[in-house]
Chains A and B, each alone.
Chain A
């Protein structure tokens, strides 16, 4: 039942998605893969399209949080630093298995790992680029891909020296970066702390501010491995969002689609509360933020549609 006070998000059952992914892991036949342009770099977008669909079509937040844009931005940024990657599409790759592993379904994870490793080896990938923190940890630590370098997109951009052109917007922006658990303190090797911060500082009008907890102490966004969504997890997300609101930031960046989902959901839900006020800042993935500034034009527009215009119940004066 949908609680009209807090919006639809708290009634979304995640198990359906995971049943789907678990069932998918059972088929091990590799379909025919057409490689249009072979490259030693490969980009694995992961499950962002799943979450994109969930966010776009489940009227969770009326399309404000855009996961698909992470893919576009990453490819755009990679091209900007001179990399034409093979796209390890989900039409032949399986989910990386992070969520299954941390939910305790080790056998499902093993199936996915075996399949994905086979495909990656078959395509002779030298450097595997991922745009999410969970994929980074999973491929780097749990897959044990010997001979294949696993890199997060921010590491690639940092090493290749991404140059962000001078901004056209005059005013300074305050940017905070949320360290995803999986890419910072859960990485015993190569944790990602400095790369995203350095990239943010390459934007000339961006001022990097640190949240109350940051780097290895950074607080979680509230939900891990998509297991629960309830008042308690919302509370954790709210704590984190408030940290950003207190700093009066303009952008809250993250490098993890899950963080993006939950922050975006909270962002939206705040507008549902009676007398509640929408957080002033935008929640973006770091690739989205950088890609927006790459040629001076915004590839993703700021949300213009207010929930009241989209939701019939609000129009009717309910809630």
Chain B
């Protein structure tokens, strides 16, 4: 029996839990609100801090040594934690520059020069804006990533982005070390695409952990990735070689057959993993998709590495040709299959107990144990253990599965409304599950 089915049949709301989460939660909002209770005190502290800083900077002149000779260190790199900002300043050159003579149209504002520095300023301030807006936009109280998937995925996206931005900050070092990367454009794409992969894949995975509706969240990202990959592959493997052949003219024959064969084999392998995954998540039900994709992924990864190694060792020229053709667009040609692999894996992961996820909320107040009638008579449950918490931790059965009365006395006293009886029901249904595999649900 699929757990989705159990929940749909048993609880009045579907999908998900019959529980309120997030800012609209009306059942209880304990504590004091931030506004305005905390704001005045914080303002005073902040102003005091600023005053001290002003005083210090006015009274004490920091010791500054002589200026550095620019000829000594030709390659200036900031500290590692500022590399992302450095990368942003570097990437500013892709934006158009010029001078706007009269931006407001009434002569009040003089000519504004939109140069690389201007774009650099804008880009550097961009990452700070979400940090300011986050507490105003996201009013949720939940802290666990699985309960706040959007916020958590955004955070992971930004971390990935800081890495790729830092990578771009040292672009000339990178190209020096790995010359086959070729050009700057490859790294520029890295600025945009891989952080998106990280953000979307982690959002899908966190949705899964949070037991939300999944179907379209698997199909759409994988479908879009397949589509982008196909366009890119068509461009790289058909249009570009055709172009090259046309410009080479009589020299077209220099593109030797083994090289083309190797390239075609690699692209077919990459394409195959995308297509099979897309087929599985779109047309198969969850259980079958899982059964198909798990072995397929393992076999595919091993095969891909072996084939790569084989080509590299037997036909070095062919290998170089493949790298030369694929590396400039590796953000799609290699990134998309990796993204699809990870997204399908985290999006199809076998759900463990839905209620394990809910029992996780417990903060061990022990009220349930006091309320439980079974603990008063059942030897196994005696001993002052915490019912919900110990069940979650699998340290102790709490109330043994088949002995629980499902009387919900524990939920009635639970400060967090953890429905222990729902967990019991699910566990029993799982223990007796004999039904046919479900449809495409969830």
* Most central of A109, A188, A219 by chain B CB within 10 Å: A219
Question: Once bound together, how far apart are the Cα atoms of A113 and B10, in whole Å?
Answer: 12
Q: Is the CB of B376 within 8 A of A103?
A: no
In the assembly, what is the distance between CA of A233 and CA of B406, in Å?
Answer: 13
CA of A102 to CA of B407, assembled, Å: 11
Tell me if B342 is interfacial: C-beta within 8 Å of chain A: no
Choice from B18, B405, B413, B433 contacting A220 with Cβ under 8 Å: B405
Task: Take A107-B1, A181-B408, A186-B408 as given contacts and tell me if A232 and B374 are in contact as well, using a CB distance cutoff of 8 Å.
Answer: yes
B431 CB within 8 Å of chain A: yes
Asked if A141 and B376 make an inter-chain contact with CB atoms under 8 angstroms apart, the answer reads no
**Cα separation A217 to B10 with both chains bound (whole Å):** 23
B403–A185 touching, CB < 8 Å? no
Convert A168-211 into 0s and 1s, putting 1 for each residue whose CB lies closer than 8 angstroms to a CB of B. Answer: 00000000000001000110100000000000000000000000
Complex interface bits, A3-20 against B, C-beta within 8 A gives 1, otherwise 0: 000000000000000000
Main secondary structure on chain A at its contact with chain B?
helix
Known: A104-B431, A220-B405. A232 touches B378 (CB 8 A): yes
Say whether B9 contacts A109, CB under 8 Å: yes
Which residue on chain B has the smallest CB distance to residue A215? B412
Q: Which of A143-189 contact B (CB under 8 A)?
A: 144, 181, 185-186, 188
Is the CB–CB distance between A228 and B408 below 8 Å? no
Smallest Cβ distance from B377 to chain A, in angstroms?
Answer: 4
Q: Of B1, B412, B413, B428, which is within 8 A of A102 by CB?
A: B428
Interface residue? A110 (CB, 8 A)? yes
Interface residue from B374, B377, B411, B428 paired with A103 (Cβ < 8 Å)? B428
**Which parts of A209-226 form the interface with B (CB within 8 Å)?**
216-217, 219-220, 222-225
Contact A239 B421 (CB under 8 A): no
Find the A residue at minimum CB distance from B431: A104
B414 to chain A, nearest CB (A): 11
Answer whether residue B366 sits at the interface, using C-beta atoms and an 8 A cutoff.
no
Known: A102-B425, A103-B428, A217-B413. A225 touches B1 (CB 8 A): no
CB within 8 Å for A236 and B429 given contacts A142-B10, A181-B407, A225-B406: no
Say yes or no for B67: interface residue by CB 8 A criterion: no
B245 beta carbon closer than 8 Å to chain A: no
Interface size grouping (class) on chain A: 20 to 34
Bound complex: CA of A219 vs CA of B374, how far in Å?
A: 10
Category for how many chain B residues contact A: 35 or more
Q: Residues of B contacting A239 with CB < 8 Å?
A: 373, 376-377
- CB-nearest residue of chain B to A230: B403
Per-position 1/0 for A102-137, Cβ under 8 A of B: 111111011001000000000000000000000000
B405 and A222 within 8 A (CB): yes
CA distance A228 to B412 in the complex (A): 23
Closest residue of A by beta carbon distance from B373: A236
Q: Is B311 an interface residue (CB 8 A)?
A: no
Q: How far is the CB of B25 from chain A (nearest CB, A)?
A: 15
Check B373–A101 contact: CB distance below 8 A. no
Contact mask B153-174 → A, CB, 8 Å, 1/0?
0000000000000000000000
Which residues of chain A from 223 to 276 have any CB-CB distance to chain B below 8 Å in the complex? 223-225, 227-228, 231-233, 235-236, 239
**Which residues of B in the span 339-383 have a Cβ within 8 Å of any Cβ on A?**
371, 373-374, 376-378
Interface residues of B in 37-63 (CB under 8 A from A): none
Instruction: Verify A217–B9 contact, CB threshold 8 A.
Output: no
Interface pair B18/A107, CB less than 8 Å apart: no
Shortest CB-to-CB span from A47 to chain B, Å, is: 18
B373 contacts A222, C-beta separation under 8 Å: yes
With CB as the reference atom, state the residue of chain A lying closest to B411.
A185
Q: Tell me whether B12 and A144 are in contact (CB under 8 A).
A: yes
* A224, B407: Cβ atoms closer than 8 Å: yes
List residues of chain A with CB within 8 A of the CB of B402: 227-228
State A110–B2 Cα separation when bound (angstroms). 14
Given A144-B12, A186-B408; A106-B429 close (CB under 8 Å) = yes
9 A-B pairs besides A103-B432, A104-B430, A107-B435 with CB distance below 8 A are A102-B428, A104-B432, A106-B1, A106-B433, A142-B9, A181-B406, A232-B378, A236-B376, A236-B377
Q: Name B's A-contacting residues (CB within 8 A).
A: 1, 5-6, 9-12, 18, 371, 373-374, 376-378, 402-409, 411-413, 421, 425, 427-435
A-B CB contact pairs (8 Å), 15 listed? A102-B406, A102-B428, A103-B428, A106-B6, A106-B10, A106-B433, A107-B434, A107-B435, A142-B10, A181-B408, A217-B409, A219-B409, A236-B373, A239-B373, A239-B376
Q: Which residues of A contact B (CB under 8 A)?
A: 101-107, 109-110, 113, 141-142, 144, 181, 185-186, 188, 216-217, 219-220, 222-225, 227-228, 231-233, 235-236, 239
Nearest 3 pairs of A and B residues by beta carbon: A104-B428, A220-B407, A235-B377
